[in-house]
Structures are given as structure tokens and as C-alpha cells.
Amino acid sequence: MIPNNILVNVEENIRSKVSWRNLAPELRKALSDNEKRYEKLILEYSLKNQLRYRGNLVYNTFGHEKLYYEKLIEENIRALHLFPYHLADIVTKGLRLTPFNYYTDMLVFLLNNDKNYDSLPNFTAADCLRVVGVGRNEYLSISSDLKTGSPKLFFKRNPYYLLPKFPRRIVIEPWWKVEVGYVLESDVQSLSAEELAVIDQLIDYGAQTAGALLYEVVHSLYRRGLIYLDVPISGEDKISIPPLQNFVMNRVCGDYFENLLYNVFVTVDEQSTIAELSQILQVPLDTVKQATSLFCRLNFARRKQTNFVNNVESNESWKNAKRDLAQQQQQHAGSTIFNYHSLLLSQDSIDSEQSDRPDDFTIGSLDSPSPADDSPVDLSTYSDVKADDARTATDAKRVGFIFDSTLTAFLMMGNLSPGLKTHAVTLFEVGKLCDEGMNDFLRELEKVSILDADGEGEVSRYFHHAIILRSTIVALKNVLNTELDLFRLESLEALDLKTRTRLLEKKYKFLIAAAPLSGVLSTPFTIPFFGQFYRTSANSHIWTKLFYYHMGGYGPPSLLLTKGAVLTHLPRLFLGYGKLLITIVHTESFVLNSEKFATLNEHLKNGCVLIQGYGIKQPAETHYEVFPFTDSLDDGGLSRWSQHSAVRRLAKVLDLQRSFGYLTFIRTGVPDYGCENYDENVCLLREKSKTDKESSTQTGLRKDQTKPKPVRSDTIGSITSIESDDASLVEDIRRIRDNSVTEEVLVEIEQRGEISQELVLELADASRNADSDTEMQRRPSVNNMEEWTLLDIHFGIPLFDVDCNTSICQNIIKKLCSEENISNILEVNSKMEHRYLKFISQCLYFQDESMELVKPGKFVPKPRINLAFENGKIISWNGK
């Protein structure tokens, strides 16, 4: 077994055509000085990457060209790869293999091996649907017929009997090239005079432009398999990506070419040439041309510049075809084929794969087409043929708006409109929507009305997101007065770091994030970014909450438990709370009744869990507040929320004036008094062993010990109305009242059980806030704001709350997107990230351990110590 790092180096040498003789000595040694082993790797790599036989190393090491291509096709079909269009001059002319034959064999392979339709990769499934006409519904029907023994099989269970006999009628653009295929003498006998003339022309003069030939003849010869089509792309061409029609959302296989296709999707724009795209991707030009050629073939891209104009204008057959197909396009909307499991789509939200198809025409002596032979054709691909574009290209940098897959899922699952769903698929699969296509997207969003929402809850949520998204895009374009592109965060993350940096630094002035972002940002952007200041990982959201609480001194009682921890009782800091907020990695937070705390042990087997007090009998009230804070006439020109003690402290750590976002406050019913001795640093002390406690009792208190706070006797004395079941407990409290009740006594009381919720709450408050009257006199209080405490902070533009969104879009962005602030935001984010990482470092180690700082650019580690946020600071949890 060759190690991966060695195998990568070997493949680089094969790609660079390095022979065994010139191979580096260390690589020879890694291959056991075995030349035959190297030749085997050459063959495997060449087949996997569909390399031409001639011009590559395989030509010198494998002596059978025809056998090589036969192996290549066989392995391609088993691997479910796209038809090798770049080798059509070999496989079609030499092996008489057309895309239709190829995909038919692939479908038979799947059916014979009882594989699901979803096993086809996305692009392969889309091309198979385009060429053969078999999508998910057709495949399921054929599979069912095979298993039940349909009469269509004529007593032979052979899938070929159930598959179409001829290719579908596909889109052929007039600038494509027509090449002659494998033509036998028997084929010529059934051709019409016009068809025969075209074949003779192709044989005598070589490839012809499709638009120079008769439209019907080109389609007829294609369906007979006597010609094949080449989609020529030059380095000076420019392409655009329209809303995806007939895209199949199945799965990704992750091979090199598929990754390249997705990278082209997210990096291409209408101003960049293919050559420039090659430079951004750092991929050979021929490879990028191959990828963009495939997109044009699949109708996922349109070539914006072409030298072919005159012949199109002079050929009446293509003019008439354009007009007829335009009418078809208006009558039949394209469909997107969904995977039932993709993005957690429900059955009701999946578009029907079957669309009404016009009757096909009969050509020559061909048999009638199969029912799946035809589908609506997108004639809009012809609309961009002319070289002159109405929109003037500009070198001015744009603004990028970053969203994540949650938004695309909402747009898909909401049943908002078929047209909007197509755009949602485009946003998800392409990962980008350029400004040039924004108007069409906005028109679809404009059709969404909250009045159409069926009920409330999740359905209403989808409609709200769509409506607010539209207002956000319109506001950004108006306020910023620049071109705006939308980016899916996960698609940017799929690019390698250098490619992403080249793309953003060349094309974009700054980026703005939707909030909250649930996707992972592995490395901060190198251009100004108005969004989260930290890189994200699975645990980052939990860390940020604790960071905000500790630095602000306020927040709900919180407990962060590491993987493998076990809860045997309800932790003491949640006494009195009937509702808990639970945050688990990779899932949305949810509310749990406190008596069901033991169910969290199952989650703790797989990862860490954050538990927070979230209400007594009902979940907490929630309030969102935008920052930077705007002037308020109701409070002397200052927002009352800006005077909250947590905000005043956080302002020393977070720059809430030069960035924007929103804070989430909650009112749980339990007042939050913060901490007495605020310290930005975290100091974790180990829990003392029983021996240490006995030693402390004998020798007196050590310097690092804090004397337990007594519960005020007047608080205990005020408990007069109690249920009879608590009589013994009250008697115990009264008996020890004169000596004061320590925290240790509270633990003992808790362990004795059967205590009313109200009593627990009062005792817990009294224990935490001894002498609180004096403390309250010292602390500034604004309108009893301590009733509200901080839950979370998010940077960016919220898409779920109208008031917050409007405030940011209309009032804040214009102020903060000044040249001076844009130039400083990178430094601002860097400083905030530095304090954040320092905080995490301090939470990973006890005071007596040597701390290793978490460095920028490294993934945020998992917690290794059980942590609690109580009394306004982070401490290690003692298990009580």
C-alpha cells in the first residue's frame, strides 16, 4: 500500500509525463525500485482521468490503443462518470460509441446491479436525462417493471427492452461544430438526399458549423448517431450562468473533474474570459475549456461572445427553429430533478420530474420516439449569441453578499414558486448569483407574499426569509450603489484557499454576511468582511457564547459538558429553571424540560453539549437589538439597550461601532446581577479532593479560597407560605437560620429531594446574591435591565427579523461602508479574534497547567474541561 503523500507525488509525475528513468530516487525507492509498478500506476491514473492514449506516458507503457480505450469506457461506466466528450473523435469515430449508447449501457449496469437512481452523480444524471430522457421517475418505473415481470419484456428480463431506442431531441446551438461519426455503407442507404449531402460534405471538407447546415438535417443525423457535436470554447470567450434548468440533485462523487466543474461555477462571471478564469483557478487552459464546453453542452452556461453571426442570420431553417422553440419555451417550464433526501426536502416540496413534452417529429424511416423522447428546450440559450452585449463590462470591484445553505433550503422547501425554486437550486449548486442575473431573481422573489403562507411556524418562516431577502438585496444595491454578487459560503469553502483569495481580491471590494451563518468558515477572508470575526468549526458557536458571557459579565447560567460526561442529577446552577436551552453540534438549539436532563447523556456520548437556563415555567422572552446603537429620543439620545451592563463591558472587547449585527437578549424570569469582581482573564481552579478539604479545615482557609456566601436570614425568614410536603425542610432551614445557610447546605438540601420549584428558586437566588441590597445600590441600573440578560451576538445582516434587517440596511450600512471604515475592518476583526482565541486558550487548561495559545488560522479545539458560567464568570464545573 502506497502512502497517500507518496501517491500524490507519483501522480504529479505521471501528469507531468516523467518517465521511470527520470523519476526522483526517493519515489523509485517508495515504489520498491519496481518499474512495472510504476507502469501499472500510469495505466490506472490514465484511465481514471480519461487521458488520451497518444501524447501521454501510457502510450509508452501500454501497447494496445484500442484495448486502452475499451478499458477506459468500461471503467467510466462502472464509475458512473460523464461521457468523455473530449475523446469523442476517438470513441465515436473509432468505437462507434455515442453518448446515447454510453448512457444506455450505464443505465443497464445500474438496473442489473439493483442500484438506486440517486447513485448517479449530479452532472452524469443531468446529461443522461438530456440525452436518453430517463430521469428518476422513468428509472423507478423501469426498475419496477423488471422486478414484477412486465409484459413489455416479452418474457426476457432485459433492461434494454424498456429503455428508449433513440436519443432525445436536444438543444443544438448554431455555433457548435458538427463532425462526422462512424458511418457504415448500410447507414448511407437509408439517408435522404439532403442528409447524404451533409455526410459527404463532412467527409470531404471536415467539421462544419451547425448553423451553416439545415436545422432538421443536423437533428436527424444526430439522432441516427452518424454525427457527433463539438462545443468549441476559446480562451477569449466569456460565459454566463443562467438559472439551472433540468439539473438533477443526486450526489457528488468528488472526482477531479467534478470538483473542477463546481469550482468553475463559483468563480466564473460575465466579465472574465476563460483564460482569466484559468489563471484564477491555476488550472491548464485546455482543462478549463473542457469544463466550460460541457456546461454549454448541458445548457448550464451560455457563451456571451461568438464569431458566428452571419451564417445564423442567413439560414432560414435556424431562424424558424428559434421562433418555434421560443413558443415551446413559454409553454413548458424547465424542471429541476430533486433527490428526495437532498437538503431535507419533504415529499410535498419536490417538483414532479415528468413535464409535458411536445410530440416529436418522424425523420426518414426512424421509428416513433419513446414517450421520454422530447422535453422543452431552453431557447434563451440563443439570446446571447451576438458579440455586443447590452451591459457594459466594468473593471470596478463589486460587493459580495455571503449566505449559507440554510437559506437555499428555505427557498426550496417553502413551495414559494416554481421559478424561485429553480433559482434556489442555482444558488445551491452553482453557489453564486452574479449581478447580471439579479433582476430575474428579484422578480421571482417579488411574487412571494406572506399572505400566501399556509399557517404559521416553519411554513411562515420560509415566506418571511424570501421577502426579507428581496428587500435586503434591493437595499444593498441602492445604498452601496454598486454591483452585488451573492455567494454561498459552502461553495467558497470548497475552493482551495489560494484560489478563493485570488478570486476575491481581484473581483471584490468587501464582503457582507447574512446572519447568522451556520456554515463553516475555515479561514478568515483576506478582504474586508462585515461578518463574524472568527473562523468557525463545529464547536465555535458554543465557544463564542461563553466568550460573550464572560467578557460581558452577563448571561444565563450555562454549563458546557465535554464528550463522555454523564449527568446523574440536575446541576445546581439550574435549580429553579423548568426550561433549559440545549445546544448540540450540527443541530439547531432546542428547549428541554429540566426534569428530562438525563436524556442529554445520549448526546454526550457523541460530543459536547451546552446547557443553559431558559425560563422557569415558560421559555424565555426574546428581544433583538441592532448594533451599532442608534440614537433614541426616548432615552436622552442614547439607546437604553446600549446602557445595559453587559453591553458596556463588551464594548471594551468587541468593536460594536465599526461593525454591525444584532444582539439577542432574553428574559428568563430570574434576574441577572452579573459579577462583583470583573476580570477579563479566565482562571480555572481544580476541584479539591476530600483530603485537601479536611486539611483546609484544620489549617484554616488558604489564600486562594473564597469564603462561602451566607444566605440572608431575612430572605429565609420571608418564606412563610410553603406546601406541607416541605415542612421538614423549612424546619431545617429555620433551625440553622441563625448560623446562616452556606452553599454546602443548599447542596445537602437538594440531595434530600422533594422541594418545591418556587422555594428552590428563592434559595438559589439568595445563595448567589447575598447582601444584594447593598450591591444593587452600588451598581448602575437602567430601567431594571438586569431582568434581561445576553444570549448571543451575531455579526452581519439578519434575514429573519424585519425590524433588525431594516435598521441595518437603511441606516447603518451607509455609515459603516465608508472608505475609512472598510480599510480598518480587517484590523478590527483581527483584534477581536485575538481576544477570542486567548479566551479559548484559557478555558482549555487549569491554572497549574502550562497553557498553549490557540493560534489564528487553526481550528478551534473541542473543550477538554467541563465549564460553567455562573455569577458572571467562567469557572470549572465541580460536578454539583
Q: What is the DSSP string of 265-302?
A: HHH--TTS-HHHHHHHHT--HHHHHHHHHHHHHTTS-E
Q: Cell 443522461 identifies what position? A: 128
Residue in the structure block whose three cell numbers are 502512502: 3
Cα–Cα dist 327/826, whole Å: 52
Q: What is the mean pLDDT of residues 53-80?
A: 93
Burial group, residue 229, by CB count within 10 angstroms (0-12, 13-18, 19+): buried
Helix, strand, or coil (residue 561): strand
Q: How confident is the model at residue 410 (pLDDT cuts 50, 70, 90)?
A: confident
Return the DSSP state at 659: S
Q: Are residues 407 and 495 in the same domain?
A: yes
The partner residues of 624 in beta bridges, in order of sequence, read: 664
* Residue 648 exposed, middle or buried by CB count within 10 Å (0-12, 13-18, 19+): middle
CB atoms within 10 A of CB 271: 20
Interatomic CA distance for residues 748 and 832, integer angstroms: 42
- Domain assignment present for 245: yes
**Distance of alpha carbon 767 from alpha carbon 750, whole angstroms:** 13
549 and 592 share one domain: yes
* The domain boundary residue, chosen from 742, 759, 778: 778
Residue 807 one-letter amino acid: S
Residues with Cβ within 8 Å of 48's Cβ and at least 6 positions away in sequence, in order, are: 75, 79, 255
d(CA 116, CA 138): 12
Answer yes or no: are the C-beta atoms of 391 and 438 closer than 8 Å: no
Does residue 183 sit within a domain?
yes
Point out the domain boundary residue: 515, 549, 583: 515
Distance from C-alpha of 267 to C-alpha of 431, rounded to nearest angstrom:
9
Q: Which residues does residue 722 pair with via DSSP β-bridges, in sequence order?
A: none
Same structural domain for residues 646 and 696?
no
Angle at 643 between CA 642 and CA 649, to 5 degrees: 90
Distance CA 267, CA 487 (A): 10
Mean pLDDT of all residues in 269-274: 92
Whole-number Å distance between alpha carbons of 181 and 95:
10
Last residue of a domain, one of 273, 303, 333: 303
Q: Could you give the CA distance from residue 227 to residue 219 in angstroms, rounded to a whole number?
A: 9
pLDDT in tens, 522-544: 888 999 999 989 887 777 889 99
Report the C-alpha gap between 266 and 800 in whole angstroms. Answer: 26
Instruction: Find the range with the poorest average confidence among 405-409, 459-463, 678-682.
Output: 459-463
Does residue 764 or residue 836 have the better pLDDT?
836
Cα–Cα distance measured from residue 671 to residue 517, given in angstroms and rounded to the nearest whole number: 30
Distance CA 658, CA 88 (A): 57
**Best-predicted range by mean pLDDT among 302-306, 374-378, 773-777, 862-866?**
862-866
User: What single-letter amino acid sits at 217?
Assistant: V
* CA dist., res. 96 & res. 93, Å (int): 6
Contacts of 570 by beta carbon, 8 Å cutoff, 6+ apart: 594, 595, 597
Residue 522 domain-assigned? no
**Cβ atoms within 10 Å, residue 193:** 6
Sheet holding 558-561: strands in order across?
590-593, 579-584, 609-613, 558-561, 867-870, 873-876
pLDDT of residue 145: 84
Position 352 scores a pLDDT of 33
Q: Which residues of 430-469 are buried (b: 16+ CB within 10 A; e: fewer)?
A: bbbbbbbbbeebeebbeebeeeebeeeeeeeebbbbbbbb
Q: Which of the four pLDDT bands, split at 50, 70 and 90, describes residue 305?
A: low
* Mean per-residue pLDDT of the chain: 80
pLDDT at position 319 is: 77
Residues 814 and 711 in one domain: no
pLDDT of residue 321 exceeding 70: yes
784 within a domain of the structure (yes/no):
no
Three cell numbers written together for 259: 470538483
Residue 574 and residue 592: Cα distance in Å, rounded? 12
Does residue 589 contact residue 582 with C-beta atoms inside 8 Å? yes
Both 118 and 160 in one domain: the answer is yes
CA dist 815 and 797 (Å) reads 15
Choose from 67-71, 337-341, 668-672 the range with maximum mean pLDDT.
Answer: 67-71
Q: Are residues 726 and 656 in the same domain?
A: no
**pLDDT digit string, tens, across residues 178-203:** 999 999 988 888 899 999 999 999 99
115: its cell numbers: 442500484
Helix runs in 553-606, H state only: 600-604
**How many helices (DSSP H) and strands (DSSP E) are in the chain?**
35, 20
Angle at 384 between CA 379 and CA 387, to 5 degrees: 150
Residue 6 lies in a domain: no
Q: 71 by DSSP, 3-state: which?
A: helix
Summarize pLDDT for 511-527 with one digit per residue, the tens. Answer: 999 999 888 888 889 99
Please indicate, yes or no, whether residues 71 and 206 belong to a single structural domain of this protein. yes
Burial level of 823, CB count in 10 A (0-12/13-18/19+)? exposed
Reduced DSSP (H G I as helix, E B as strand, rest coil) percent helix, strand, coil of the chain, to 5: 50, 10, 40
Task: Give the pLDDT mean for 455-484.
Answer: 85
Residues making up the chain, counted from first to last: 880
Question: What mean pLDDT is predicted for residues 24-37?
Answer: 91
Query: CA 329, CA 320: separation in Å to the nearest integer?
Result: 14
State the Cα–Cα distance between residues 400 and 16, nearest whole angstrom.
37
Per-residue confidence band for 744, with pLDDT thresholds at 50, 70 and 90:
low
Contacts 24+ apart (CB under 8 A), 519-523: 519/404, 519/405, 519/488, 519/489, 519/490, 519/493, 520/489, 520/490, 520/493, 521/489, 521/493, 522/493, 522/859, 523/497, 523/857
Question: Do 432 and 506 fall within a single domain?
Answer: yes
pLDDT tens column, 429-450: 999 999 999 999 999 998 887 6
How far is C-alpha 520 from the chain's CA centre? 8
Q: Are strands 529-530 and 558-561 parallel, antiparallel or unpaired?
A: unpaired
Q: What is the number of alpha carbons within 13 Å of residue 418 lying toward its C-beta? A: 12
pLDDT digits (tens, 9 = 90+) for 617-667: 999 999 999 999 876 544 444 677 888 989 989 988 999 999 999 999 999
- Identify the band that residue 42 occupies on the pLDDT scale cut at 50, 70 and 90: very high
CA dist 103 and 167 (Å) reads 10
Is residue 691 pLDDT above 70, yes or no?
no
* Contact yes or no for 401/432 (Cβ under 8 A): no
Q: Are 560 and 863 in contact (CB under 8 A)?
A: yes
Q: Which residues contact 870 (CB under 8 A, 6 or more apart)?
A: 557, 573, 768
Q: For residue 71, what pLDDT is reported?
A: 95
**753 vs 83: which has the higher pLDDT:** 83
Residue 54 belongs to a domain:
no
* Domain assignment of residue 96, yes or no: yes
Considering the domain boundaries, does residue 138 fall inside one? Answer: yes
Q: How far apart are CA 661 and CA 650, in angstroms?
A: 14
Q: Measured on CA atoms in the order 53, 56, 58, 64, is the torsion positive or negative?
A: positive
Regarding beta strands 432-433 and 239-240, do their DSSP bridges make them parallel or antiparallel, or are they unpaired? unpaired
| Whether residue 604 is found in the same domain as residue 709 | no
- Comparing 121-130, 689-698, 701-710, which segment has the lowest mean pLDDT? 701-710
Residues 488 and 594 in one domain: no
Say what the pLDDT of residue 616 is.
92
Q: Which residue has the higher pLDDT, 84 or 695?
A: 84
Expressed in angstroms, the distance from the first to the final Cα of the chain is 51
Dihedral (CA of 59, 60, 64, 70) sign: negative
Residues 561 and 485 reside in one and the same domain: no
Domain limits for position 197 = 64-303
What total number of domains does the chain contain?
A: 4
- Say whether both 487 and 397 belong to one domain: yes
